[in-house]
Chain A
Amino acid sequence: MQDTNDLRKVVIEPVTRVEGHGKVTILLDEENKVKQARLHIVEFRGFERFIQGRPYWEAPVLVQRLCGICPVSHHLAAAKAMDRIVGVDTLTPTAEKIRRLMHYGQMFQSHSLHFFHLASPDLLFGFDADVAIRNVIGVAAKHKDLAVQGVMMRKYGQEIIRATAGKKIHGTGAIPGGVNKNLSIAERDEFLKDIEQMLEWSRGALKIAKDYTVENLEMLAPFGSFDSNHLSLIREDGAMDLYHGNLRAIDAQGKSIFDQVDYSDYLDYISEDVRDWSYMKFPFIKSIGPENGWYRVGPLARVNACDFIDTPEAEAARKEFMAVTDGKPNNLTMAYHWARMIETLHSIEKIHELLLDPDLQGTDLLLKGDRRPEGVGLLEAPRGTLFHHYKVNDDDQVVMANLIVSTTSNNEPMNRAVSKVAMDHISGKAEITEGLLNHIEVAIRAYDPCLSCATHALGRMPLTVRLLDHEGNEVAQKST
């Protein structure tokens, strides 16, 4: 291994237009060849520790404070684990459907936020467009309709969360064994009024993502791309199910690694590696090992892993998506955007279906069973599979918590993407421009990482770039 002291270091800190705080370091040799590129997550919060000693029913409300973007995912994953703790394996139909509605509302708002506000500046203006316009303000100025759609779609999802959880951010709706409220007819009718508009805008966003990917396929296909395994929850019949299911892992060619695994047994299948340069762990599939057992999660993995989607428009979109790779898993990093918009359409189709279901007005909200000492809850959060695991003592206090957050699973893939882009676009260049460095961020952004969640840490993820010579002296710096 080359002594890294002889290398120049480029640091992108903080990474922008992602959730949380992280940095990228790129080591260059004297010919400006990239020797190493890494994404470091520099936050640490320790939720798993300070939940210890708290009563178990507090967990769904406490742990969601990990995040302000998709707290519902943590709220519901913890509630699912606590369902097990209170001995409830199947919720009442009303409780299950209210939670699903909350979750699809969450998926809809989070995906919309990412696509319209975080990712679209790169897609609309180009990766190395003028940084002055390559931002959400630039989008609002040039594509006002899209900026407005993004805001309104996000608002619709947030209002669904408010109606089901009590608040748009950090609500209390899901409680161990069920929910604390149903959906009133008045609330339902309010959502039904705008559903056609939301469907229409979701179709439009899907078309933008699809057309962009197909039209630029030649450029995007190698961009930060690599073969990988894919992991997702899957319904028993193989359908995509974002709220509940069993674990399925496939390899880059679509071959099954494991399938229909009860997620309570996740520790038999998934393990986590620790590396000294990042606070974020590196999960991997045990049977393959840490070297090659890493996997991707999130929209791309879910669309790849499922056999079908149970809503008609999203299923038609999935077929188009899979046709690009002849039915084999799509391993393009930039295909995440297209997959994310398929899920956005799926979510709003699901919301429509649920709003028409009279079970949402049911009054049977809560069940109770025999207390258990341990519970695992998984769901598919906007960014991928989310694991919550708790042990509770006889005094009802949490004594152990283990969270594997979506972005943590995507840690190795994001590092691979960073490495690939650095090699392809930066290596050997005499001058490293802001636009070139943004290529790195574009690859990271495709994963819609939430670095706060991933390290169970707090903050935004702005990115600064520092160029250091081989003696560690700063040559240049870029901040955004």
Chain B
Amino acid sequence: MSEHTITFEIDGVEVRASHGQTVMVAADVAGIYIPRLCAFDGLPPYGSCRVCTVKINGRFQSACTQPVAEGIIVENETEELLEFRRNIIDMLFVEGNHFCMFCEKSGNCELQALAYRFGIAAPKYPYMFPADRNVDASHKDIFIDHNRCILCARCVRASRDLDGKNVFQFVGRGPGKRIAVNAQAKLVDTNIDVSDKAVEVCPVGAILKKHVGFTIPIGQRKYDHEPIGADIEANKQ
């Protein structure tokens, strides 16, 4: 079996992929960036944030979960999909308490970087300013700021699949859904360690290592000079 056995199209560009690859992975290899938040290299696809939504043969699909198939026509950078993604990012901003101005994740935050990439200067939806989000600073090395959690479940999956610990899980439903550690417990009551993958994978400033703060100067942060996705687009032949 040859390495590339499937050929399909993204925005009119022919892309070759292997059986079993997702549209997102195949696009990455081809240097085509499909925006994402819950997807993360090394974690199984989850398909919850819907930022990677593309149109496949005219139907909305999440690129991170959809396997490639011969001859499919994928739409990625159409105005319709850009607007769809902008709306999702907008909603994520207003649903939590995201104050980039004093968040130490600023410049390294994937949500903020996506907003910049999509040219979102301010959300168009009204802020919800939820008042029930707290900070769990009980652990000596790690803290959780629930104000900034976007429920991407990266920490849930990383703790379970990569750290083998199951520290995080969701509780509640709908607007009441939130990340929790072992039901009623605090972070200090769990077996999480600062070197765990679950601490590394948070795309926003919700799970952070303590005492790091603003040690990376402005100008040396991940997205200070290049937009999110530029590393993938650099693969383009």
Contact = CB atoms under 8 A, between A and B. Distances in A.
A and B are partners in one complex rather than unrelated chains: yes
Interface of A: 53-55, 57-58, 60-62, 65, 165-167, 170-173, 175-176, 180-181, 366, 395-397
B233 interface: no
B210 A166 contact: no
A55 B213 contact: yes
Contact of A173 (B104, B137, B211, B217): B217
B2 interface: no
A166 B143 contact: no
A395 B138 contact: yes
Given A55-B210, A395-B137, A61 B102 contact: yes
A338 B98 CA distance: 44
Contact of B102 (A53, A65, A167, A173): A65
Of all A-B residue pairs in the complex, the 4 with the closest CB atoms, nearest first, are A166-B218, A57-B213, A395-B137, A62-B102
A397 B135 contact: yes
A65 B211 CA distance: 21
B216 to A, nearest CB: 7
Interface of B: 101-102, 104, 135, 137-138, 143, 210-219
A171 to B, nearest CB: 6
A36 to B, nearest CB: 41
Contact of B218 (A58, A172, A395, A397): A172
Contacts of B217: 166, 172-173, 180-181
Nearest to A60: B214
18 contacts: A53-B135, A54-B135, A55-B213, A57-B104, A57-B213, A57-B214, A58-B104, A61-B102, A165-B218, A173-B217, A175-B213, A175-B214, A180-B217, A395-B137, A395-B138, A395-B143, A396-B137, A396-B143
A55 B216 CA distance: 17
Contacts of A65: 101-102
Contact of A61 (B135, B210, B214, B216): B214
A463 B19 CA distance: 71
Contacts of A176: 213
Contacts of A55: 135, 137, 143, 210, 213
Contacts of B137: 55, 395-397
B101 A170 contact: yes
B102 A57 contact: no
A15 to B, nearest CB: 27
Given A58-B102, A172-B214, A396-B211, 7 more contacts: A55-B135, A55-B210, A65-B101, A65-B102, A166-B219, A180-B215, A396-B143
A62 B218 CA distance: 15
Contact of A167 (B104, B135, B138, B218): B218
Nearest to A58: B102
B208 to A, nearest CB: 8
A173 B214 CA distance: 8
Nearest to A172: B214
Contacts of B213: 55, 57-58, 175-176
Nearest to B134: A53
Contacts of B101: 61, 65, 170
